[in-house]
Amino acid sequence: MHQGRVHAWSETPRTPGNRTPATAGTTALLTLLALVLAGCAGCSTHRAADTAGDGPVRLTFWSPLRGSQEVVDEFNRTHDTIEVDFQQVPSGEQGGWAKLSNAARAGNAPDVATIEYPQLPGFTIDGVPRDISELLPDSVRRKILPQALDLTTFDGRTYAVPVDIEPMVFLYRKDIFTRNHIPVPKTWAEFESSARKLKQAQPRSRIASLFTTGGTLYLAGYAWQAGAQWYRTSDDTWHVSMDDAPTRKVATYWQRLMDNDLVRVEPGSSQQWRAHMQSGETAGYLAGAWAAGSMMSSTPGGKGKWAIAPMPQWDPA
């Protein structure tokens, strides 16, 4: 399972003489912005017309990613014909994603915005992102990991340029594992065994959490790793199935961990989850590799105590 993010821009770049509100968002990599716009100015009639007028083309950009302001500042410093106005937005479905959806409905979506891969299909169904297939020449596509580009392409049409794609990993309290002589699990069988050893050594601690809210994406990752394919598209039709053997295998496994009180069951990103992470009562976290960055700010007391390992596998080979 991989996790990651993509960016978005709209159909109508704004210049001082063209203040038409943007009407849709497309997902684009900010560092490719100059390349893509420079290319489309010569290949797209409506883009060329949009860039006419006095002063630089002005683009609005929304993102929850830390460091985006610095990227925008550097972009503006090194470009004269395009100027980006940046706005930091909160992450998550109730944060920036809801804000972007509402703005699109109101006809004033930003030109560029960051969203995550799982949200892209829903935005696409709602008609928010623009089909940018024609803006991605082979010279650009060859620079993108094919698996990442596949996550932004539906029925042969591309709606996003990936920003990153990261594997799921196991973040764990190295000090707790070392002190209690608990091996870092390489397989899911070892994960269950290590969970039992941790509970025996520290009865209040658990190896990880199974989230009651926001957990669907994690379960999808576990199932995907086991060989499941919950949904696919063909001929403009969605095909959805969550009743296959790999999914049942994963569900049975996590149900057993729950029944034996080997994992903590709690809402994802909740205050109680963060408190358990900070205290060491939750000694592990299965998530995208990007989570290490967010943990640096959410659990500052854990500096030097956490380590990272590949996510456990079903097959030892």
Query: Cα(200)–Cα(16) distance, rounded to whole angstroms?
Result: 67
Q: What six digits make up the tokens of 27?
A: 């997902």
pLDDT in tens, 10-60: 444 333 333 232 333 333 333 232 223 322 222 222 333 344 467 899 999
Write down the pLDDT at residue 304.
93
Level-2 CATH architecture, domain 166-310 = 3-Layer(aba) Sandwich (3.40)
Write down the pLDDT at residue 7.
60
Query: Cα(90)–Cα(140) distance, rounded to whole angstroms?
Result: 30
Write down the pLDDT at residue 202.
97
Among 26-35, 77-86, 121-130, 243-252, where is mean pLDDT lowest? 26-35
Query: Cα(150)–Cα(157) distance, rounded to whole angstroms?
Result: 10
Place of tokens 């205290």: 279
Please state whether the predicted TM-score (pTM) of the whole model is above 0.75.
no
Q: Name every residue whose Cβ is closer than 8 Å to that of residue 77 and which is 6 or more positions away in sequence.
A: none
Q: In the β-sheet with 57-63, what is the strand arrangement from edge to edge?
A: 82-88, 57-63, 112-113
In this predicted structure, the answer to whether residue 175 has a pLDDT above a threshold of 80 is: yes
Among 35-49, 149-163, 191-205, 276-290, where is mean pLDDT lowest? 35-49
Q: Which CATH superfamily is domain 2-158 in?
A: Periplasmic binding protein-like II (3.40.190.10)
Query: Cα(251)–Cα(230) distance, rounded to whole angstroms?
Result: 14
Give the largest Cα separation in the chain, rounded: 71
| Domain layout of the chain by residue ranges | 2-158, 166-310
Query: Cα(182)–Cα(277) distance, rounded to whole angstroms?
Result: 18
C-alpha closest to that of 113 among 105, 122, 104: 104
Query: Cα(276)–Cα(64) distance, rounded to whole angstroms?
Result: 25
Percentage helix, strand, coil, to 5, in the chain? 40, 20, 40
Query: Cα(164)–Cα(7) distance, rounded to whole angstroms?
Result: 10
In this predicted structure, the answer to whether residue 100 has a pLDDT above a threshold of 50 is: yes
Query: Cα(267)–Cα(282) distance, rounded to whole angstroms?
Result: 13
